[in-house]
Structure 1
Amino acid sequence: MSNVRVLPRRDRHVIDLPDPEELVDQGERALDLACYGLSEAAPEYSARGVLVAWQRVALIAAVALVILGLVFVPRATGIAVVAIVTAVYGIALVYRLALFHLGAKGGHVVTVSDEEARAVPHAELPRYTVLVPVFHEPLLGELVARLERLEYPRHLLDIRLLLEADDEETNAAASGLALGRHVTVVRVPAHEPRTKPKACNYGFLISESGMCTIYDAEDSPDPLQLLRAVVAMRRLGPRYACVQARLGFYNADQNLLTRWFALDYGSWFGNLLSGLVALGAPIPLGGTSNHFRSDVLRRVGAWDPWNVTEDADLGLRLARAGYQVGVLDSDTGEEANPDAINWVRQRSRWYKGYLQTFLVHMRRPGLVNRQLGARGMVGLVIFIAGTPLLSALNGFFWALTVVWFTSHDPAVAALFPPAIYYLGMVSLILGNLAVLYMGLFTARQMERLGLLIPALLMPLYWILMWLAAVKAVLQLITAPSYWEKTAHGLHKAEAPQAAQTAGVAA
């Protein structure tokens, strides 16, 4: 690993989970490591406890200071709070536009042709573990059929269906399947936390492979994706721990919500993700279709089972350990959430996980700054923490705007001295126009003219984001590690085909 950025010993983050052969016939030890391996070996990197002592004191002190200020000097306190939040809005807007611009320029995606992927001799291919966590998923037959389309030598392919031991519905479905030798049903013991990353840890720890990836139950991956990932990782070199494939939707045209979701993903995987790579910022990974070097994954402790956005957290931990993440030119089709309530449940979990990730990785700011550098710190604060927090604050500022235009209340006007007022107007007008432009640009980039009207209606989508963000903040306090299951199979189309993938930027 001579090309990996070498950190001072005090800054290194190395867990080194045991090799699979050490866990043979040791189910209890594997389960213990899956649940507590990271939190016991490196508790400062685990979300098992959200706040450490100094963060709890600082948060209580900040809330108390604001409350006291509102009681004794309400006008000055209100102006200060509005000024800080408005400035953060402005900075976040500029940062997101910069990422979008860098990503739209292209040049930061690894492309592997079909011919190049198929040309790798079987003798040079690593054993590949495919982790598929499933819970209350009766349609396992369709899932297995989609995975069987993967073009990879069967003697080197290790597909692991990770089922909860007490999930009678899914276990019953699995018992009726005729599975090849390369497909294994792994029953994960019922144990807290009941999360996807706990299941992935358990399946990964008892597997032997050179590469590893995750697919969700509804995924329809590019058949050559594993081969492309192998070639991409060799091309990128040992500094790279992972490549992230793009995600899109096979039911993007189902309703207005799925069209918004397609634009959302198209912007993220088509531009913002590449922008983060171009900027050299940490990459918050997606929950599926990320392809890892297995040895590196063990070295950093695999997934945090207590973090409900374990993918984003792992991307940060890889960056802190000195590794990089690339973007792979390969698509995986997913089911876009067509139901608003189900969508809010899913997005609130993502937002909650972003907040968990931020709090965990800001436990030692000085260390994180040395590990990530200034660009990484900016990305951690603005992108990871700012995305859910600013979405949660949107409702407050919408309410202030409505109050002002309906009543011209002088108390509202007093919160916006000229400097703050004009910055706020820039954020309101130019910011919203910029976001609408990014939506229209994404629709055109995807060559999906049917998404142009939904792009203009995106402000309605922001209301759902606000609801999800508020729920995330509240649930972070009441149930930080609770995993809200996303219901699948709500799309109207027939079983997905890889060729039908939509919502992915070309």
Structure 2
Amino acid sequence: MSVWSEPGGFGEGELAGFSDAGQAFFHHEGEVLQSSKVRDDEDAVAALLREAVLPPDIGFLVGRGIATEVLYQAKTIADECGGYAADILIERGYVTSDGYYRALADELGVPFLELKDLKPEPDLVLKLTRADLPGLAVLALESRGEGMEFAMAPRPASIAEVLRRAKSDVRIRARLSIASPDSLKRAVAIHGAVHGLEAARPEYSAARLGGRSGPAGALRAAMLVLMLAALVVFAPRVLMGLAAALFIIGSAARFCAGLHDGREHPLRRGKTPGEADWPPYTVLVPLYREAAVVADLIAALQRLDYPAHLLDIKLVVEEDDRETREALTRNLPGPSFQIVVVPPGGPRTKPKALSYAMRFARGELVTVFDAEDRPDPDQLRKCARLFASGPPSLGGVQARLAVDHAQETFFTRQFALEYATLFDILLPWMSNHRLLLPLGGTSNHFRRRALDDCGGWDPHNVTEDIDIGIRLVRDGWQMVTVASTTWEEAPLTFSAWLNQRVRWHKGWLQTWLVHMRRPGQLWRDLGPTNFLVTVLLFAGTATALIAHPLFIGLVALYAIDHKLMPQLGGLADLTMMGAGAISLVAGYGAAVFAMQRAARLRRLRVRLGDWLALPFYWLLMSLAFAIAVVELVWRPDHWRKTRHGVARGRLKHGLRRPRE
């Protein structure tokens, strides 16, 4: 197979292509290399024709460590097959792709650039067009001094033209470098993954909230921190009144969801795909320091019941994560599985890895699993049927997440109750009412077209799931849930739980700040009902997490000595205190009601202590939120890693399914 025809090669919006053996590169509309007609090197061409020995795509390799008879043999095979000798040499291992293009750079007397040296122009994503395979692949580099420099990975068909023109014009050689096709492809892919959303749809990007966006972004995040602090210190009555209202509204919604039986309403029924009609399905699994769970992960993915030739499983790993890469290489089972190595660059986040891997995905449908996931084997078929039978506007499907070692620690029990309430009760209820869904970070399934339309994942948002769910709905796509479970590993300890919860809260704040840049536009995009849902999800959650410790503090003061309570001063204070008491009762009552229903559906054993510990658990969430607010200013892109493979009691058989 040619190195240029492998899956995930240069695609639309990724590389500039130039046909006619590279003519357009050397006469680029008079914009960059404004050379007049380049003088032909007639003597060199005539000498090559006189010898009539080797084609130009391998002629320059003579004397560079490859036996002459091997070069002749490659020429003979290429002549018989109608291909190029250079491709034959690379495919059969006589020379590596890097070695071939390094030799070409040496022949031209220009630099050879490795991946780490390829720095594309910042606005490259918006400038590039579809690659023209018969010509050249050219990457505009960051300007150094006057004029723009280029890295080139010419096809064998263009080698003769490159040699002739570059050798005869010093102005071309002064601005030209050579790179391998793979390096060029990966440089463009990582550039697109990091900057693609920001360049194409800046209003959806969290890049300008902080971090590399500089003082302005950090100032906006700092203003949020100061505003929240001011509410607590100077306007506690306003805060508690607002929190009470949101508490009561949220509790009412949670109570209504608790009445739901957990079943999804069927979409418009269509024809179930036959064996010949199943669409190609890409499974993305981002991994970082996950060597301990690789074997279990591969086993879980092998149990997926989907036509093997249509499965495109991308195991996405960071370049410096050598231990995980080696574990994947040892356990890689077959052609459906491919390791995608993410080059360094930009924030080290899960959404950046997903965005990079999408450049090489070939599925019409795409799903994301985490390292510790064990999806139901029929999950892909169920989702493919939903997409086939549902309306064309169906852009995403969320499967249910559940904890398979709920009884191990206090935190796994609370986590299991949360997951059961959210994924078995609340989300199906919201789906049935066509409401915006707060997606989970795994087991969400998408149409490829929907992902492309909304710009893909934001590498600067550390909760990419909820963000992309909102963008899909804003762009007119529908989201639903499916009755299929993915089993996960929950954090065992407080430190592990805190890391995960801080990341979630920080990402929710990022998402809220991004989408509230233009509230009026958000209202128009979502409609009144879904706009209210986003307010309850984000502002309601944030306000509740801030006010809850204040409510608890007042109750504690009253329990210790009612004289310690702040003296009430009039009807406003009495109303505020009454609303606070009602909101606490309503909040706890609705939560316990919904959790009890969810626990029964998921067949979880719940202890009395788990219910009594809810106030303490919610106080811990307030602590995590406070840390997230501070971290939003100082480390907005920082990804708090959750360690997997440490649970001792994960069930391997007889997993509990919710009652239908």
Work out whether the TM-score is over 0.5.
yes
Q: Is the 8 A contact 1:348 1:469 kept in 2?
A: yes
State how 1:336-485 maps to structure 2 within 5 Å: 336-407=490-561, 408-409=563-564, 411=566, 413-414=568-569, 417-450=573-606, 453-485=609-641
Deviations 1:354-393 (A, max 9, x none): 1111110000011111001111111111112322442233
Residues 1:135 and 2:291 aligned together: no
Deviates most, 177-186 or 54-63: 54-63
CA distance in 1, matches of 2:434, 2:222: 30
Question: Partner of 1:49: helix, strand, or coil?
Answer: helix
Structure 1 residue runs of 4 or more that deviate by more than 6 Å after TM superposition: 17-24, 51-55, 116-119
Q: Is the 8 A contact 2:305 2:378 kept in 1?
A: yes
Q: Is the 8 A contact 2:425 2:594 kept in 1?
A: no
State how 1:223-234 maps to structure 2 within 5 Å: 223-234=377-388
Give the superposition deviation at 1:49: 1.7
State how 1:152-231 maps to structure 2 within 5 Å: 152-231=306-385
Q: Sort the Cα spacing of 1:331 and 1:281 in 2 relative to 1 into closer, same or farther, 3 A.
A: same
Aligned to 2:477: 323
Residues 1:50 and 2:206 aligned together: no
Query: TM-score normalized by structure 2?
Result: 0.67
Question: Partner of 1:500: helix, strand, or coil?
Answer: coil
Residues 1:248 and 2:402 aligned together: yes
CA distance in 2, matches of 1:54, 1:166: 29
Residues 1:490 and 2:646 aligned together: yes
Deviations 1:136-186 (A, max 9, x none): 011312211110000111110000100100012212212322420010001
Give the superposition deviation at 1:455: 3.3
Q: Which runs of 5+ in 2 are unaligned?
A: 1-125, 138-180
Q: Is the 8 A contact 2:197 2:205 kept in 1?
A: yes
Q: Sort the Cα spacing of 1:454 and 1:500 in 2 relative to 1 into closer, same or farther, 3 A.
A: same
Question: Partner of 1:402: helix, strand, or coil?
Answer: helix
Aligned to 1:271: 425
Q: Is the 8 A contact 1:201 1:303 kept in 2?
A: yes
CA distance in 1, matches of 2:639, 2:226: 28
CA distance in 2, matches of 1:117, 1:338: 43
Deviates most, 444-453 or 39-48: 444-453
Q: Is the 8 A contact 2:221 2:633 kept in 1?
A: no
Q: 2:275 aligns with which of 94, 104, 122?
A: 122
Question: Partner of 1:281: helix, strand, or coil?
Answer: coil
Residues 1:88 and 2:260 aligned together: no
Deviations 1:311-357 (A, max 9, x none): 00000000110111010010000012121110111011111111111
CA distance in 1, matches of 2:619, 2:254: 23
Larger Rg: 2
Aligned to 1:8: none
Q: Is the 8 A contact 2:251 2:590 kept in 1?
A: no
Aligned to 2:197: 38
CA distance in 2, matches of 1:177, 1:243: 30
Q: Is the 8 A contact 1:20 1:205 kept in 2?
A: no
Q: Is the 8 A contact 2:474 2:525 kept in 1?
A: yes
Q: Sort the Cα spacing of 1:154 and 1:360 in 2 relative to 1 into closer, same or farther, 3 A.
A: same
Question: Partner of 1:124: helix, strand, or coil?
Answer: coil
Question: Partner of 2:491: helix, strand, or coil?
Answer: coil
Deviates most, 407-416 or 262-271: 407-416
Q: Sort the Cα spacing of 1:379 and 1:463 in 2 relative to 1 into closer, same or farther, 3 A.
A: same
Report how many aligned residue pairs link the two structures: 479
Aligned to 1:29: 188
Amino acid at match of 1:340: F
Q: Sort the Cα spacing of 1:18 and 1:241 in 2 relative to 1 into closer, same or farther, 3 A.
A: farther
Give the superposition deviation at 1:283: 1.4
Deviations 1:261-295 (A, max 9, x none): 11100100112112322443321211110110011
Question: Partner of 2:208: helix, strand, or coil?
Answer: coil
Q: Sort the Cα spacing of 1:450 and 1:108 in 2 relative to 1 into closer, same or farther, 3 A.
A: closer
Q: Percent identity?
A: 35
CA distance in 2, matches of 1:356, 1:331: 28
Q: Sort the Cα spacing of 1:316 and 1:423 in 2 relative to 1 into closer, same or farther, 3 A.
A: same
Q: Is the 8 A contact 2:272 2:385 kept in 1?
A: no
CA distance in 1, matches of 2:328, 2:528: 49
State how 1:292-311 maps to structure 2 within 5 Å: 292-311=446-465
CA distance in 2, matches of 1:229, 1:284: 18
Give the superposition deviation at 1:19: 8.5
**RMSD between aligned residues:** 3.3
Q: Sort the Cα spacing of 1:331 and 1:173 in 2 relative to 1 into closer, same or farther, 3 A.
A: same
CA distance in 2, matches of 1:477, 1:57: 8
Higher RCO (CA < 8 A, seq sep 6+): 1
